[in-house]
Amino acid sequence: MNRREFLKSCFGASTAVTFFGSSAGAAGLLFGNKTTTLRIGAKRFNVLFVLVDQWRFCAMSHGAHHDRLVQTPNLDKLAKQGAHWSRCYATHPVCTPNRSTIITGRWPWQTGMNANNLMLPPSERCIAHEFTDAGYNCHYVGKWHMNGDGKFNGAGYVPPGWRRRGFTKFEGFNRGHNYWYSNSFMMTDDGTEMSTLGLYPGNTYEPTFQTDIAIDFMKQNRNNPFFCFVSWGPPHTPYGEHPDTYTYKASDVVVRPNVPAGLVGTAQGSLKDYFAHCTTMDHEFGRLMKALEDEGLADNTLVVFTADHGDMHRSHGLTYKGKPEEESWHIPLIMRLGDRIKGGQIVSNLISSADLMPTILSICGLDVPKTCTGKDKSAAMGPQGMPDESIYGGVSDNWRAVVKGDYKLVTGVAGSLEVPTKLYNLADDPYELENLVNLPEHAAIQTDLLAEMGIWKTRTSDSFPQKPWYAEKWYEG
C-alpha cells in the first residue's frame, strides 16, 4: 500500500448530515443572521485550525515589535488577507492547560487542567462536539496533550470514544516532541505507529507529513463541511531538530532589548534554530493554503492560526514558558474567511485563548454552549467593531495577570497573600523594562486593575492565591 492509498483508507469521504436546527450565536454586525443562513441550506463554513507549540507573538516577519531576521511569508500573506489580532494572550501559557482552554472555552481553574499531563474531565463540552453534532467531519492531526498520563498515554495512543472530545478521526499522539518520521510519536486512527509503515524517508520533518495528512483529509471532504485541527510540535524544543532547508546564523540574530547583555550569545544560539523551525513551518502552512486554493475551498474556509504559549529565549533572563512576560504570555492569532473578514486589518481588541471557541462557533453559525466562560469577539473584526475589554490569565498558584487598556498588572504570592509584583504600560514600554508597581503616581491604575482582577476571579471561579483544584491523570471508562 503506498502513502496515498493509506491516507485514503484512513480518511474516506463520509456523507455530511444536513444541519438546519442550530440557533445563531451572537456575532454582532459581522456575520448577520446565521440562523436563517443555516435553515435555507446554504453551504457552511469549513474550519482549518492550526495550533503551534511555543510560538511567541513576535516570531513573525510582520507585526509590531516583531523579531528581526525571522521570515514567515505565508503567515504575512494570511494577515494581509484576514485579521491579525495584535493582542492575543494565552489564558494559561503552558501546554496542557492552554490547549484545554482552547477546546473548552473555559479557564483551567474551572476544568482542573492546571498542569501538564492531566486528563480533561469526561464531562467537559468541547468545540469538536459542537461541530460533530452539526454534521461536520472533524479530524485532529498531531500533538494532543490532554489525555493524562495513564494506560494509553505517555507519548501514545488516544483511543476512540469520549477521550477524543468530539473528533471523529484522530491521527496523532498524546504528548512528546520528536520531529523526524523515524522517531515521531504519530499514530494512525487505530493506534498503529506511523513510523512502522514506511511511508516516508526517516528524515522527513514531522510537520511535513502531518500537513500531507491534513491536505488529504480536506481533499476527501471538499464536498462536506469539515473541521480540521492541525497541531504542530515545533518550534517547541528540541530547537535543533529541523531540516536544513531554512537556516539562520546566530551572529545575524538581533535579540530583543530586554535580553541581558551577558545572555545575548545564549539567546542567539537558541533563536537561530527556533527561527528555522518557524520558517520551515511557515512553508508547510503555505502548503495548506495552496491546497485550499487548489480545491476551491479558500473562500469558504475559516482559517485560524495561533499558539498554546510563547517562549522567552532569555528575555528578562528567563527561558521557555509559563511566565507573565510578553514573550511567554502573548501569542499570535490570525483569522481569515474569504471576503467575510476584511483583509489587512489589525484588530487591537484584547482576546484570550478562552475566547476562541465561542468566537469560532459564532462565525460558523453554531450555538455557543453555556459552559463557555470565554466570549464571542467576532464583532471586533466587523465594520462597527466592539468595545474593548480586559483579559485575565495565570499559571496554577504561581501568578495572575490582567491586561486592561495599555496596562498589565501581575500578582504573585507572599505567604498566603496575593501581592502586586509587576505593572507595565505596554504602549510606552512594550519590552517591559520599567516596572511601575507600587509607585504613587500609578496608584489609581493599580487599584483599578486589582479590582478588575477581583471581577475575573468571581467570573472564573478562581481560588488564587490558594492552589486551584487539579484534574485527574486518568479517568476510567
Q: Are 427 and 406 in contact (CB under 8 A)?
A: yes
- In the predicted structure, residue 382 carries a pLDDT above the cut 90: yes
Residue 189 has pLDDT above 90, yes or no: yes
Looking at residue 423, what is its pLDDT?
Answer: 99
Q: What is the helix (H) or strand (E) element at residue 73, kind and residue range?
A: helix 73-81
Q: Tell me: pLDDT of 40 over 80.
A: no
Grade residue 277 by pLDDT with cuts at 50, 70 and 90.
Answer: very high
| Predicted pLDDT at 43 | 61
What is the Cα–Cα distance from 37 to 77, expressed in whole angstroms? 29
| Peptide bond between residue 108 and the one before it cis (omega within 30 degrees of 0) | no
pLDDT at 225 over 60: yes
Torsion sign across C-alpha atoms 12, 13, 17, 23: positive
pLDDT of residue 477: 72
Q: Which of 29-43, 79-93, 343-357, 442-456 has the lowest mean pLDDT?
A: 29-43
Q: Which of 176-211 are b and which e, b meaning 16 or more Cβ less than 10 Å from the residue's Cβ?
A: ebbbbbeebbbbbbeeeebbeeebbeeebbbbbbbb
CB 333 within 8 A of CB 88: yes
Calculate the alpha carbon distances from 378 to 260, 363, 392, 411 in Å.
39, 7, 19, 30
DSSP 115: S
pLDDT of residue 26: 35
pLDDT band at 154 (very low <50, low <70, confident <90, very high): low
Q: Return left, alpha or beta for 132; rule: phi > 0 is left, psi -120 to 50 is alpha, else beta.
A: alpha
Statement: residue 380 has pLDDT above 50? yes
Q: Which domains, and CATH codes, for the chain?
A: 3-389 (3.40.720.10), 393-460 (3.30.1120.10)
**Cell numbers placing 78:** 494570511
| pLDDT for residue 11 is more than 90 | no
pLDDT class of 476 with cuts at 50, 70, 90: confident
Statement: residue 34 has pLDDT above 90: no
What value does the mean pLDDT take over residues 340-351?
Answer: 97
pLDDT at 410 over 80: yes
Percent of residues, the chain, with pLDDT higher than 70: 90
What cell does 357 get? 471557541
Q: Is 105 left (phi over 0), alpha (psi -120 to 50) or beta?
A: left
User: In whole angstroms, what is the distance from residue 221 CA to residue 110 CA?
Assistant: 35
Helix, coil or strand: residue 169: strand
Q: What is the pLDDT of residue 10?
A: 43
| Burial category of 297 from C-beta neighbours within 10 Å (exposed 0-12, middle 13-18, buried 19 and up) | middle
Average pLDDT over the chain reads: 91
pLDDT at 149 (0 to 100): 85
Residues 34-54, mean pLDDT to the nearest whole number: 70
Candidate from 25-29, 194-198, 419-423, 451-455 with smallest mean pLDDT: 25-29
Q: What is the pLDDT of residue 336?
A: 98
Q: DSSP labels for 406-446?
A: TEEEEEEEETTEEEEEEEEETTT-TT--S--TT-GGGHHHH
Tell me the average pLDDT across 253-275: 98
pLDDT at 24 over 60: no
Residue 78 CA: distances (Å) to CA of 48, 302, 304: 13, 11, 10
Residue 35 banded pLDDT, cuts 50, 70, 90: very low
Mean per-residue pLDDT, 370-376: 97
Supply the pLDDT for residue 47: 98
pLDDT on residue 152: 59
pLDDT of residue 14: 34
Q: How many whole angstroms separate alpha carbon 9 and alpha carbon 2?
A: 11
What local confidence, expressed as pLDDT, does residue 12 receive? 38
Closest residue by Cα to residue 282 from 235, 249, 319, 320 = 235
Which residue did the predictor score with more confidence, 20 or 341?
Answer: 341
Q: Which amino acid is at 31?
A: F
- Which whole number is the average pLDDT over 24-30? 36
What are 445's three cell numbers?
491604575
